[in-house]
Structure 1
Amino acid sequence: MDLTRPAWLEIDLDNLEFNYMEIRKLVRDSADIMAVVKADAYGLGAAAIVRELLDLGVKRFGVAHLSEAIHIKNHSPHAQVLVMGYTPEYLAETAIEKGVRLTVYLEEQADYFAKVSKEMDKDAVIHVKIETGMNRLGFNPDETSLEIIERISKMDNLIIEGMFTHFPVADDDHDYTRESMKKFRAFCKMLYEKDINIPLKHVSNSAAIMNFPNFGLDMVRAGIILYGIYPYPDAKRETLPLKPCISLKAQVSHVKYLQKGEKVSYGLTYEAESEIQVATIPVGYADGWSRELSNKGHVLVQGKRVPIIGKICMDQMMIDVTGLEVERGDEVVLMGVQAGSEITIEDVAQEIGQIPASVLCMLTKRLPRVYVKERRVPEVVDYLLQI
């Protein structure tokens, strides 16, 4: 394994495949699966994740911004990538040239995309966003929007491939979600009566895939569940078995003993109550390991859960390994499994009052991504070497 630093994110591609196959079992056969790979595939590395999912038969991918789409297209030109958020008009030419699918929620966007497409002698492929209760982006499902979408459907060089909405509380408010779906279905009926045919209708995020399998329509959007993380704490594991894809590991950089009364790290917030053995780990908040874990988080050493002591520094932190035979170079697991013990991303998220997705997105590009498949390491990606 060709690492440039003794700390890394380990990504299990076998578990990614397992999760995809379990999602495929849950989703009805007629529905396609879009893999949501925004935020660099939630920090796992979009280029490698998309390549792996393409091999599994996934064709469609969802991102938040055009730059994310271009990154994927540069590595996997045949991937069909939808920007689900805002693409400003000044980026239209770049998007259309790259063959990126765009979200439209205003008539003036469609007008401009059609104009640029015509000038380029190309077609722009769009998905229309409908507002059903998130109140973020989208056409309201009413007569005015119906007239607008009818006009859009007649624009030259513009292909409406899809129409979608997003559920804000598919995890815990089923009545609200059903009402949102009712609005979406009613608007679909209005379009049908106008003889406007939009091939791909999609509404289900990860929580809806689990809680509302009958909402699959033509496509679902699998995000966090692809990576082995449940979309909310009380999700029924038996509905969808998942395996976590990501671990955070490091090697001990130093071991020493402290005497009673000696203190640790910035602010000297930890004081030894007796003689203790302390190990230093080369991971800090600049790597995305939250400073909120200072004096309360844990890591695994030799399968034992040991505490973080003192303030987490920018690049390093200290742990109490009293009673263990620890040497420089020994492996530490900050998140993941070691010798039968586990610290889950849910554990970490709960400690700092966040959701698991935000913990993933905190983990910075300083950490190399190590991809594991069939117990081999086919690839190591160090972003800093690519800048």
Structure 2
Amino acid sequence: MVDLSAIRKNHAYLAEYAAKAECAAVIKADAYGVGMREVASCLADTVQTFFVAHPEEGRQLRSYCPEKRIFVLHGFLPHQPDFMVKYGLIPVLNSLGQVRQWRDFCQKAGREHPAALQFDTGMSRFGISWEDMRDEAVKELKPVLVMSHLACADQPEDRANEEQLACFLKMSAAFPGVPRSLAASSGIFLGEAYHFEMVRPGIALYGLAPQEGEKERLISAIGLEAQILQIRQIREGTRIGYGLTYKAEGAMRVATVGIGYADGVFRSFSRGGALWKGKECLPVLGRISMDSLSVDVTGTELEEGDWVTVIGQEQSFAEIARQAGTIGYEVLTALGGRFERFYREVG
């Protein structure tokens, strides 16, 4: 279940937190697996600018949002400038090669088409370097936005944040008057110095608190349930699952639940993970399989066909991530296509 009202409330809170900046929305990877069409529609009244990763994502989003600004974070491939213009997509130029190709394309077309320019301020991923700034194609560029990305924004005490901020200020000074964007979800909470003219929340829209102090402010927008397929009574000493890694210490009721690692519940969640039924904790037993997992339902009244909670009030996707030794981003985007998604106005 996806709570669309929670997504709107989270965006409103982030927009208020960064009140002097435009609050865009990053809805790449099918809105982090939640559903691009539905998330874009629920934010359409308040968001003017969206970000996606690939041109094809931008084309899909354009069909839902004919009037919005859409930036493509990966820019374009050599054969795609026409594609970008056809669908009104704004490439984020990440290399000298892209800058030169876009310049040549615009010159051949006889007009300037909008583009953003990304700086590499220390992450060594996307963006042009300080040395690249001397290139004539960069000097001639008239970007509609300059941007960069923070490597350690979820660690406020890390000095890399201040170092990247200083580098961004230096590089963006070469484009006076051009709007700037540095902060994504975690970066927003580093404070006003990181907000500039635009912030770009993504995962925070769905309730993942990038910093501990924001847990109370952001609302989880995701709920996930799975069905009990089988319940059996086992004896002391009985082993469970692949590798027979779990051995019952006494007589138990064990439920087989129809969800597994093909659905985004990682095998590592076997170590200390649990599902829930109301306030009843149902520990995972043994290894998680591709399509199923086992939980302890001893002492409960659960029966075959009942639904149990994977993600909900008792356990957010961020908490599942911690138990599985990963990050909330990976859990959310890994939720498989076999789930039926329900969109509701809960709040």
Asked if Structure 1 and Structure 2 have the same fold, meaning a TM-score greater than 0.5 normalized by the shorter chain, the answer is yes
Pick which of 354-363 and 252-261 moved more.
Answer: 252-261
Residues 1:183 and 2:173 aligned together: no
Letter in 2 for 1:96: V
Letter in 1 for 2:342: V
Letter in 2 for 1:269: T
Pick which of 18-27 and 68-77 moved more.
Answer: 68-77
Alignment of 1:372-383 (within 5 A): 372-374=344-346
Q: Matched residues in 1 for 2:140 and 2:223: separation?
A: 49
Which one of 330, 347, 350 corresponds to residue 322 of structure 2? Answer: 350
Which one of 293, 296, 303 corresponds to residue 269 of structure 2? Answer: 293
Q: How far apart are residue 241 of structure 1 and its match?
A: 0.9
Structure 1 pair 237–80 and aligned structure 2 pair: CA distance change class (3 A): same
Residues 1:282 and 2:271 aligned together: no
Larger % of strand: which? Answer: 1
Q: How far apart are residue 188 of structure 1 and its match?
A: 2.9
Q: How far apart are residue 112 of structure 1 and its match?
A: 2.4
Q: How far apart are residue 149 of structure 1 and its match?
A: 2.2
Residues 1:24 and 2:15 aligned together: yes
Q: How far apart are residue 143 of structure 1 and its match?
A: 7.9
Letter in 2 for 1:35: A
Match of 1:380 in 2: none
Q: Matched residues in 1 for 2:225 and 2:304: separation?
A: 14
8 Å CA contact 2:208, 2:220 repeated in 1: yes
State the SS of the aligned residue for 1:369: coil
8 Å CA contact 1:42, 1:361 repeated in 2: yes
Q: How far apart are residue 119 of structure 1 and its match?
A: 5.5
8 Å CA contact 2:133, 2:139 repeated in 1: no
State the SS of the aligned residue for 1:217: coil
Q: How far apart are residue 142 of structure 1 and its match?
A: 5.1
Q: Give the structure-1-normalised TM-score.
A: 0.83
Letter in 1 for 2:95: L
Q: How far apart are residue 202 of structure 1 and its match?
A: 0.7
Structure 1 pair 335–144 and aligned structure 2 pair: CA distance change class (3 A): closer
Match of 2:209 in 1: 230
State the SS of the aligned residue for 2:312: strand
Match of 1:166 in 2: 149
Letter in 2 for 1:347: E
Match of 1:44 in 2: 34
RMSD: 2.2
Q: How far apart are residue 237 of structure 1 and its match?
A: 2.2
Which one of 6, 12, 18 corresponds to residue 15 of structure 1? Answer: 6
Structure 1 pair 275–73 and aligned structure 2 pair: CA distance change class (3 A): same
8 Å CA contact 1:291, 1:313 repeated in 2: yes
State the SS of the aligned residue for 1:293: helix
Which one of 13, 17, 34 corresponds to residue 24 of structure 2? Answer: 34
Q: Matched residues in 2 for 1:366 and 1:290: separation?
A: 15
Structure 1 pair 168–252 and aligned structure 2 pair: CA distance change class (3 A): same
Match of 1:156 in 2: none
8 Å CA contact 2:99, 2:138 repeated in 1: no
CA offsets 1:201-259 (integer angstroms, 9 cap, x no match): 11111122111223221111111211110124xx3227x71111112211222222112
Match of 2:312 in 1: 336
Match of 2:295 in 1: 319
**Percent identity of the aligned residues?**
28
Q: Matched residues in 2 for 1:90 and 1:314: separation?
A: 39
Paired residue total:
346
Match of 2:195 in 1: 216
8 Å CA contact 1:42, 1:360 repeated in 2: yes
Gaps of 5+ in 2: none
Alignment of 1:134-173 (within 5 A): 134-141=123-130, 144-145=133-134, 147-153=136-142, 160-172=143-155, 173=157
Letter in 2 for 1:373: E
8 Å CA contact 2:99, 2:137 repeated in 1: no
Letter in 1 for 2:146: M
Residues 1:93 and 2:82 aligned together: yes
Which one of 274, 281, 294 corresponds to residue 305 of structure 1? Answer: 281
State the SS of the aligned residue for 2:188: helix
